[in-house]
Amino acid sequence: MKCKLALLFVLSLPLSAEEVTPDNWHFSGNIAYSNRALDGTIVNQTEDNNGQFGELFTTGNEMNVGTSSSTMVELAVQYKRYGVGLNYMPTSFNGEGTALVAASGDNAGFFVQSPLDSQIDVEMLLANFYYNIIQTPDTVFGVGLGLGQTSIDFNIKPELGNDLAYTGDQPFGFLNLHFSSNYNRFLYGFSLNGINAAFSGVDVDYSDYRVDLGYRVSDAEIKIDIIGGYRLINFALDIEDGEDKAATDISLSGPFLGITVTY
């Protein structure tokens, strides 16, 4: 299962001059290593059971897919109080676990536990257009409007019953709230993304929480920060294909550690 889904953490100097000068522009890049766990549920339903029972039901723990380790990449450009940030986070899980599968024949109406092979890939790409309402040398508080793309590719193969597979892209929008501050060279902040709406006929419930802690290694013209923290992403997606319906409600969570360079 692939999901293409982000977030921005930018520290900048106050911008007060009205004329266009080099100080009006700021650029930043961040690369961080993250270890993420998968939780939540995946259900496959058909019209035959009136949506009350799934043909297949499994959870992140039951799939036994372990954790996913990969990098997150962020780029941002800011002019005065306005900015644009991009965030990319790929995630991949695989493992052997179990699922509850609807039985057939004389056992119809009952569920049995079946061994399960799972391959789940999630990629998230987010673009955030933001404005800093408060912007001082020490503190930034702003809001934003973002566009996201979720690329989904999952293949779940139970030993009993039918395979559950889906590949596709789901665009969506979201709202952003971000805050960052510092005390001497110590940095802290948070960022929130969220939306609950229908896009292209698909219901999307997305939330993204991130807490940052860091230390400024260099406070020269080119600033270098060591940033760590924790990120939790919840993504619920209901997909209908004819009489079939796949409902996913998953969360990706884990710590991260990286470096940010700001000019």
Per-residue model confidence as pLDDT tens digits over 102-139: 776 666 677 888 999 999 998 999 999 999 999 998 99
Q: Mean of the pLDDT values across residues 207-213? A: 97
Q: Is residue 106 part of a domain?
A: yes
Question: What CATH number does the domain containing 212 carry?
Answer: 2.40.128.90
Q: What mean pLDDT is reported for the chain? A: 84
* 14 φ/ψ angles, rounded to the nearest 5 degrees: -65, 140
Q: How many domains does the chain have?
A: 1
Q: Is residue 8 part of a domain?
A: no
The SS3 assignment for 249 reads strand
pLDDT score, position 17: 33
Round to whole Å and give the CA distance between 154 and 95: 12
List the domain range (segments joined by +) for residue 94. 22-262
Q: Is residue 2 part of a domain?
A: no
Round to whole Å and give the CA distance between 214 and 228: 6
> Can you say whether residue 69 is alpha, beta or left, with left for phi > 0 and alpha for psi between -120 and 50 degrees?
beta
Share of the chain above pLDDT 70, in %: 83
Q: Is residue 255 part of a domain?
A: yes
Grade residue 5 by pLDDT with cuts at 50, 70 and 90. very low
Q: Is residue 253 part of a domain?
A: yes
pTM of the model: 0.83
Max intra-chain CA distance, the chain: 79
Q: Is residue 207 part of a domain?
A: yes
pLDDT score, position 170: 85
Q: Is residue 10 part of a domain?
A: no
Grade residue 7 by pLDDT with cuts at 50, 70 and 90. very low
Q: Is residue 17 part of a domain?
A: no
More confident residue, 209 or 159: 209
